[in-house]
C-alpha cells in the first residue's frame, strides 16, 4: 500500500483509531494510538514524535526526541481492539539527522536485506521460524529481600493428576509425552485453532498447529516462510495474537525458553534459505543434496555460533534449555535428520525449492529482527570466506564415547559466556553497517547490567534446599 492507499483503507474499514507499533531494543512491542482524523499522508514522511529515553536500551534523557515513521505496507485492522483500529508497524528515525536509528531492530533487519543484495550472492533470504510456547492457567512470581518464588499452574499439568477438581477427569499429558495426543488429553485444540484463524485473517499463512512435547500446555504453531523483514513483522504479530487470544480465554502465554523444571523447554527452530532471481541456491550435489554455498553458509553459522547465542538465546533462562546431555540442540555440528545437532538439513522433500537448513539453537525469547539478521550475517561470512563446516554429525550423540564427544563443540552455557563471545567475535556483524559498534556495545551493556548481574545477586529457592544446612 501507498500512504494514500492506507488512508483509503482506513475509511473503507471505518477505522476510528490508528495504532502505531514499534519494537524496543530488547524485543517487546511498544505502541501509541492516534485518532483516525490525525492519519494524514504527511506522517508517512514527517513522522510522529515520542520520548526515546523511556524505551529500554535507547536514548539518554538529554537527547530523547525520536520519530516513528509508519510503514504503509504493514497496514492491517487490529483484531483485538473494541473500536475499529488500523495498525501500522513503524521505523524509527532521528529527528535531527533524519537517518534511521541504529538501535531500531527493524532498521537493522532492513540493512541486513540491503547488505545481502549488495554482496551479489543472493537477493532474498527466507526465514521460517517455529516458535514454541506454553499456555498456562495461572502464573505468580515475586522476589524480595526475604522471599522469592514462582508458581505455575495448568489444567493440563501432570502434577495435577491427584488434585481435587470436582471432579478430576484425568487426561493430563505425561511429562515429555505431550507430542500429538488427541483430545481430551490435548485440551487446547480450539484455542490454537482460534489463534490460527486470526493469523490467516490477517494474511499470515499457517502451515500447522499442534501440542508440543511438554506437559502443561506446550504448543507450536508454524507459519509459512517469508523474507527476513516480513518474517520479523509477522513474528511480532504471531506473539501478539497468541498472547491476546489466550488472554481472552482467561489463560496466559509465555515464550520463556524454560519455564518448567523436568520437562522440555521451548525452542524456535529457524528454517532458512537463500534465493537469487527466483531460484534457490541451497540445492546441489553435496551432502544432504545441498550446494557448496549452503555448506559454507552452515560453516559461517557454526563458526560464529557462540556469538550468535548472545542474540538468538538472549536471556539467562535460555541456558536452562541449552544444557548438554539432554535433547536440546547444543552440539555445534550439522546433520541430515539428527535433531541433536544445532543445524539440521530437513529431508522431507527432494524438491530444490524445499532445500533449506534448520538452525535449532535459537529460542522464542529472542528479538526476531536481530536474530534473523545476525544468523544471515554469519552465514554470508561463511560463504564469503568459504568456511567449510567439516564432517556432518550423523551418529547418535548419546552413543558417542567421551573422547568423541569432547571433539564436538557446544553452544554457550550461560548468557554471560555468550556476551563475552559476542564481545570477542562481532566483526562479521559490522559489515555493511548492519549492526554498529554502538549496537553491539549497548546490547552487551544492557544484558550484563539488567539481567546477568541482577540474576547473579539473587538466591534461588533450590539453593536453600542445597545449602541451608551447610
Which residues are catalytically annotated? 51, 130, 132, 212, 220, 269, 339, 358, 360
Distance of CA 439 to the CA centre of its chain: 18
Per the DSSP assignment, residues forming a β-bridge with 253 are 135
Residue with cell 553452544: 411
Q: Which of 224, 354, 226, 338 is nearest to 290 (CA)?
A: 354
Q: Among 336, 469, 450, which residue's Cα sits nearest to residue 394?
A: 336
Instruction: Provide the 3-class DSSP secondary structure of residue 227.
Output: strand
The DSSP element (H or E) to which 205 belongs, if any, is: none
Grid coordinates in use for 146? 526475604
* Cα separation, 169 vs 326, whole angstroms: 32
- How far is the CA of 266 from the CAs of 47, 234, 255, 417, in angstroms? 38, 19, 7, 21
Measured distance CA(164)–CA(161) in Å, rounded:
9
List helix spans (H) across 120-213: 189-201
**Given the DSSP bridges, would you call strands 17-23 and 85-93 parallel, antiparallel or unpaired?**
parallel
Question: How many Cα atoms sit within 13 Å of 350 on the Cβ side?
Answer: 1
CA atoms in the 13 A half-sphere facing the CB of 315? 19
Label residue 267 left, alpha or beta by phi (over 0 means left) and psi (-120 to 50 means alpha). Answer: beta
CA 296 to each of CA 127, 378, 409: distance values in angstroms, whole numbers, following the listed order:
18, 10, 18
Amino acid at each position: 500500500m501507498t500512504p494514500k492507499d492506507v488512508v483509503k483503507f482506513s475509511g473503507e474499514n471505518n477505522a476510528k483509531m490508528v495504532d502505531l507499533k514499534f519494537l524496543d531494543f530488547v524485543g517487546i512491542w511498544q505502541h501509541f494510538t492516534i485518532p483516525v482524523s490525525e492519519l494524514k499522508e504527511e506522517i508517512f514522511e514527517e513522522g510522529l514524535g515520542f520520548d526515546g529515553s523511556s524505551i529500554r536500551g535507547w536514548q539518554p534523557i538529554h537527547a530523547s526526541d525520536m520519530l516513528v515513521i509508519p510503514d504503509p505496507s504493514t497496514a492491517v485492522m487490529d483484531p483485538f481492539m473494541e473500536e475499529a483500529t488500523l495498525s501500522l508497524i513503524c521505523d524509527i528515525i532521528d529527528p535531527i539527522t533524519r537517518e534511521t536509528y541504529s538501535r531500531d531492530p527493524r532498521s537493522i533487519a532492513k540493512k541486513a536485506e540491503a547488505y545481502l543484495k549488495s554482496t551479489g550472492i543472493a537477493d532474498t533470504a527466507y526465514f521460517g521460524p517455529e516458535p514454541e510456547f506454553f499456555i498456562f492457567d495461572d502464573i505468580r512470581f515475586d522476589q524480595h529481600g526475604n522471599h522469592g518464588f514462582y508458581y505455575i499452574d495448568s489444567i493440563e499439568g501432570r502434577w495435577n493428576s491427584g488434585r481435587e477438581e470436582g471432579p478430576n477427569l484425568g487426561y493430563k499429558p505425561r511429562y515429555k509425552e505431550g507430542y500429538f495426543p488427541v483430545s481430551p488429553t490435548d485440551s487446547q485444540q480450539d484455542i490454537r485453532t482460534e489463534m490460527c484463524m486470526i493469523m490467516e485473517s490477517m494474511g499470515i499463512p499457517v502451515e500447522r498447529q499442534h501440542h508440543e512435547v511438554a506437559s502443561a500446555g506446550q504448543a507450536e504453531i508454524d507459519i509459512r516462510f517469508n523474507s527476513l523483514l516480513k518474517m520479523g513483522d509477522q513474528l511480532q504479530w504471531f506473539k501478539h495474537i497468541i498472547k491476546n487470544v489466550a488472554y481472552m480465554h482467561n489463560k496466559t502465554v509465555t515464550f520463556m525458553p524454560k519455564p518448567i523444571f523436568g520437562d522440555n523447554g521451548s525452542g524456535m527452530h529457524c528454517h532458512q534459505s537463500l534465493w537469487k532471481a527466483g531460484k534457490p541456491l541451497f540445492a546441489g550435489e553435496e551432502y544432504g543434496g545441498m550446494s557448496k554455498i549452503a555448506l559454507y553458509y552452515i560453516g559461517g553459522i557454526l563458526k560464529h555460533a557462540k556469538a550468535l547465542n548472545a542474540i538468538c538465546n538472549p536471556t539467562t533462562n535460555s541456558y536452562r534449555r541449552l544444557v548438554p546431555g539432554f535433547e536440546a540442540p547444543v552440539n555445534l555440528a550439522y546433520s541430515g535428520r539428527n535433531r541433536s545437532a544445532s543445524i539440521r538439513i530437513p529431508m522431507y522433500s527432494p524438491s530444490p525449492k524445499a532445500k533449506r537448513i534448520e538452525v535449532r539453537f535459537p529460542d522464542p525469547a529472542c528479538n526476531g529482527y536481530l536474530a534473523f539478521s545476525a544468523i544471515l550475517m554469519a552465514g554470508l561470512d561463511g560463504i564469503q570466506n568459504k568456511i567449510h563446516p567439516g564432517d556432518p554429525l550423523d551418529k547418535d550423540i548419546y552413543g558417542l564415547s567421551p573422547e568423541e564427544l569432547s571433539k564436538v563443540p557446544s553452544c554457550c552455557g550461560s548468557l554471560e559466556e555468550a556476551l563475552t563471545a559476542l564481545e570477542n567475535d562481532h566483526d562479521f556483524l559490522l559489515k555493511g553497517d548492519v549492526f554498529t559498534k554502538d549496537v553491539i556495545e549497548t546490547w552487551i551493556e544492557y544484558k550484563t547490567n539488567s539481567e546477568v548481574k541482577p540474576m547473579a545477586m539473587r538466591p534461588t529457592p533450590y539453593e536453600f534446599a542445597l545449602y541451608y544446612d551447610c
